[in-house]
Amino acid sequence: MKRSVAKNIIEGLREFTEALENDEPIANKFTCRKVVLDLLPVPYNPKAVKATRKLLAASQAVFAQFLGVSVKAVRAWEQGINTPSDLACRFMDEIQRNPEYWRKRLRESIKVKEAS
């Protein structure tokens, strides 16, 4: 007879609890994994920032909105006055890895406002 998923989970938790209570080395009794992501951001120089923005075919203003930063920040990055934060670099890394996806996301985000 096949045990249900719920019963398997409960039994596994019971075994885990017993191992903890008995000070057993958990790694010896259970499969333990540590997931480490290789996601250190690449540093972006002015040319790389501009190239990433161009991948999206976006103006500095639109690129800034998309990244969640000011236009002044994007301008300063592209002029070499400042460097992007690690978070901005990670976002640009993702744009570099899959520009078509991010172009699509950018297009989906556009809301046209009529001048009043």
Question: CATH number for the domain including 62?
Answer: 1.10.260
**Domain with 95 in it:** 46-109
The answer to the question of residue 41 being in a domain is no
* Residue 59 in tokens: 């103006």
Structurally, the chain folds into a number of domains equal to: 2
Helices first, then strands: H and E counts in the chain: 7, 0
How far CA 100 is from CA of 2, 54, 61, 77, 83, in Å, comes to 46, 12, 20, 23, 25
- Alpha-carbon distance of 23 to 6, in angstroms, equals 26
The answer to the question of residue 58 being in a domain is yes
C-alpha dihedral (100, 101, 103, 107), degrees to nearest 10 = 140
Measured CA angle at 95 (ends 97, 58), to 5 deg? 140
The answer to the question of residue 115 being in a domain is no
pLDDT digits (tens, 9 = 90+) for 8-65: 899 889 999 998 999 988 888 888 888 898 899 999 999 999 999 999 999 999 999 9
Same domain, 30 and 55: no
pLDDT digits (tens, 9 = 90+) for 52-79: 999 999 999 999 999 999 999 999 999 9
- Alpha-carbon distance of 81 to 70, in angstroms, equals 14
The answer to the question of residue 8 being in a domain is yes
